[in-house]
Structure 1
């Protein structure tokens, strides 16, 4: 049953009488509502609950505020927010699927232009737009002034109602966090032969519908931030044959159709894509069917531990404890000793370096006179001098699954070193215009799956996707993360496939964790750190290591106090393989 939002005639007459009585004691409406922090609503309504009318004699400013606060309240067809509209708008309002998320602190103020008549007011919502949930349920970061004008008009019963509701929905950050749950939906990367999480947001209630909503996102494909960087194995003509449902024994059934002729190896990858995505919303066995039969012959039911470790080749071997650059030489983080060869014995004046994921190779930025140049080779041996050099080179980063080494030359040209069949390193170009037009790049890091890069540009944190088209590689869809709360960034690394750790010059939050889409930022404990923190290295299932003015410190959790590294050295820059 749809929520009932209209009153009977008797109720309307009574409301009108009460309005006249109350209006007699109210000569004016307030000129502006005070900015305030709006707490997340405790959702007690169910879909069938009756939505009450607004309070009698609510003023236009409070009306618009209450309208925004009601956006995500449960109910069919945005019924709670629709209650603040006049009758015609209630019937005609068809908001888009986009949701604009604003800061909890916002105000409402009358527009400066004179109202067209005494019975009409234009109310401006004054606040900060932090991002948008787009048509694909992906968060797109933004940080601009919220520009929302709402026209309200006094009705025949002397009650103010909204007459031109916005085309998009608006909600506060707290209400969004309470009503939506993030789900890393998985898509396949052919370059690194692994799955890449695409962080999306689905309505949290009812919980029983979460698997179906996640499957809808899977079939619709990756978000714009990963378009071209990953492959959707469940794209057309694959469809959901009927509703995703749970059986009496708890098994979750995912019925698909449109898979005729799909080979078994692709079917296994499809099963993995589904299981990896649904693991965040169900702990049940997952029965995947194709036109009524098991998707993978003789394997109808799946759990997470049935899948192979697709990221095994991209994971750091437990024996590789990381390295550090100190005083122009490279030393081991495990014992503090210099590595073998000229990189460790002073043969090169090392500025920065990166170790390959398997630990066997080393890429070094070497200072030579007033310039720098790149060397690459086997760890412990002489490193071949490459053609890349300039006034500056960012610390090298190894592209997962390919053996390529990338660095940024003089801040604006992304160099890509590829080992040819003859064993020579060849420089190829990367189309990075979309990213470099934001400014000079001072740091560049590949994600552990190779589908994205993180970059520091003018002290700001950016993320872009890596799109491969034949032999050409491009950096696309650059996104600026947390521009208001994250400034003076000096270094960054990937703590997870969809999470970053950045260090800043800020003494109050020198180390922060940020989601890959910029929707959330959390500060690590700053105890024991001495500003300025200038370096960081991170990896899944590894302690984070940061470098400050006194040396190296480690921690694993946000609230954990930083501990001195067992082989700390002043002016050291740490790095894990990758």
Structure 2
């Protein structure tokens, strides 16, 4: 009875812990190599699949659990490699299709609590580590750094080998194993009110290579990730699918046989073509043959390369004739030649603290200071920049964050929306009215403000996301628009614990950020928008503190430190002095 009670207590404790972890994780549908299949059994109850490596003989229970974690990232044969570490070859294991990604540095230790096991052939082994986040049901990585503790019961089998008898419902994989077996793919949707594509970072199994393109297309057809739902639009209609698999043809093309899209307009079909071709460009160099119910999707063009698509990012990138600007000694100056810009902003009429130029280059937003209060001005570039009015007078506060522009959505191509945060607590979008004045409206930022006061907010240049700094932590949220309101939703904290002291951030590309920090060893870092990794720029030549940063697609990163402005093009490059540096200057590219 004592032995029975002891085993029952162990399993109750294990089940309780595991169920708690599952509640946190949720459920997911990670694309696999194939549909679940029965695992063939060899002698001694082990799986006999030649495609997966067999466990080493006579390894101890701790090694069994560690090797099981490493093998869990291998998707081949219905996670056949991981099943070999389970009792009866895991024939009853039906894990949820979610992955808990943990740091490479993890431990497997015997349980030290309670009485020693009564059965010498059974032990409880804990996986102790740090969870970096989860791969969600939408195949998007959700960063969430926390302690990870998972107990597993390991039992010696009749052949003398230790095997796990209660595998977790939620798969756990180490970071390096995950990145080695899964491919990050941007799948593309469109901004809500423009023809600007928006990348949505997702992960698919990288093997076998022959089925990779098919997995990407199926992921695209499943729609945007949970975070971007409501922040983007999907030209692919509900019910769109493929008539068979995506396969390579004998003449070197990749055939995508779509169905359910034949009744769309030619304009929509071209947008669908852009979605498919751009989403596939990271996994294949082949021409893409796009069919709709057996005929070319777009009349007159059956095959596509990314270079043959019209530009769907023009509104999200500053043009080459806009070198960027800086605020220095209360004036707005050009990064191109260091001289003041035309108009009152360049003449020093306003006591400018920060500023932002619209992506189209035609508009300028300035935060100035008077009488201890900061105020927002918006107007045409090179002209007068009037104060923005609010019901109580000029829009002002103790602090206003550096303005940030939404890309143009107006018929004449002129930007009509700029954002700022008042006193860290009120997120405002300021809209251009038909008579040319500017009107502030409050953005629903409840989820964001629950974390703390906002010190920096930068809209992505496609308008679908916002990068935010709160208490030195970097976060990303989706910008969800309805007919009546705008909301910041789907908040993600990036590199929690590893990335601290963030003082400024900007969009290096549509799916990556650069941040300036107070960390002496990592004053400038690059982070993808899903926060799975972080890369530090070379810190040579910089003199902390780094005060501000700006970046844009195809542009060098520019930072301001205690000595002036510096530029670099990549993380490994040594910082070079900017040719037009000025003391205490704050640089900014359009956006």
TM-score normalized with structure 2 length = 0.89
- 2:199 corresponds in structure 1 to 197
Q: 1:188 aligns with which of 184, 187, 190?
A: 190
Deviations, residues 386-408 of structure 1 (Å, cap 9, x unaligned): 13211000000001124201000
* CA positional deviation for 1:77: 1.6
- 2:130 corresponds in structure 1 to 128
* CA positional deviation for 1:346: 2.1
Aligned equivalents of 1:138, 1:322: Cα separation in 2: 34
* CA positional deviation for 1:101: 0.8
Aligned equivalents of 1:61, 1:401: Cα separation in 2: 58
- 1:95 corresponds in structure 2 to 95
- 1:105 corresponds in structure 2 to 105
Partner SS for 1:52: coil
Deviations, residues 282-324 of structure 1 (Å, cap 9, x unaligned): 1111111111111111211111122111122332121111111
Instruction: State yes or no: 1:242 paired with 2:249.
Output: no
Distance 1:553 1:53, change over 3 A: closer
Deviates more, 1:516-525 or 1:145-154: 145-154
- 1:450 corresponds in structure 2 to 463
Distance 1:419 1:74, change over 3 A: closer
Is the CA contact (8 Å cut-off) linking 2:525 and 2:535 kept in structure 1? Answer: yes
- 2:476 corresponds in structure 1 to 463
- 1:415 corresponds in structure 2 to 428
Aligned equivalents of 2:452, 2:68: Cα separation in 1: 40
Aligned equivalents of 2:223, 2:534: Cα separation in 1: 26
Deviations, residues 537-557 of structure 1 (Å, cap 9, x unaligned): 000001110000000000101
Distance 1:115 1:241, change over 3 A: farther
Deviations, residues 16-37 of structure 1 (Å, cap 9, x unaligned): xxxxxxxxxxxxxxxxxxxxxx
Distance 1:47 1:383, change over 3 A: farther
Aligned equivalents of 1:151, 1:224: Cα separation in 2: 35
5+ residue gaps, structure 1: 13-45
Distance 1:53 1:338, change over 3 A: closer
- 1:15 corresponds in structure 2 to none
5+ residue gaps, structure 2: 1-33, 410-415
Deviations, residues 203-262 of structure 1 (Å, cap 9, x unaligned): 112212111000010010111121110122224211111111111111111001112421
Deviations, residues 398-422 of structure 1 (Å, cap 9, x unaligned): 0112420100010011011101111
- 1:333 corresponds in structure 2 to 335
Q: 1:8 aligns with which of 43, 50, 63?
A: 43
Q: 2:225 aligns with which of 212, 223, 226?
A: 223
Aligned equivalents of 1:126, 1:514: Cα separation in 2: 26
- 1:288 corresponds in structure 2 to 290
Partner SS for 1:92: coil
Aligned equivalents of 1:259, 1:322: Cα separation in 2: 42
* CA positional deviation for 1:484: 2.0
Aligned length in residues: 542
Is the CA contact (8 Å cut-off) linking 2:506 and 2:550 kept in structure 1? Answer: yes
Is the CA contact (8 Å cut-off) linking 2:39 and 2:91 kept in structure 1? Answer: no
Aligned equivalents of 2:115, 2:70: Cα separation in 1: 27
Aligned equivalents of 1:74, 1:433: Cα separation in 2: 39
Aligned equivalents of 2:378, 2:43: Cα separation in 1: 80
Is the CA contact (8 Å cut-off) linking 1:243 and 1:255 kept in structure 2? Answer: yes
- 2:452 corresponds in structure 1 to 439
**Mapping for residues 174-185 of structure 1, pairs under 5 Å:** 174-185=176-187
* CA positional deviation for 1:123: 1.2
- 1:33 corresponds in structure 2 to none
Instruction: State yes or no: 1:173 paired with 2:180.
Output: no
| Ranges of 4+ aligned residues in structure 1 off by more than 6 Å | 1-5
**Mapping for residues 331-480 of structure 1, pairs under 5 Å:** 331-386=333-388, 387=390, 388-402=395-409, 403-480=416-493
Is the CA contact (8 Å cut-off) linking 2:315 and 2:462 kept in structure 1? Answer: no
Distance 1:312 1:47, change over 3 A: farther
Partner SS for 2:333: strand
* CA positional deviation for 1:177: 1.1
- 1:270 corresponds in structure 2 to 272
Is the CA contact (8 Å cut-off) linking 1:3 and 1:49 kept in structure 2? Answer: no
TM-score normalized with structure 1 length = 0.91
Deviates more, 1:66-75 or 1:565-574: 66-75
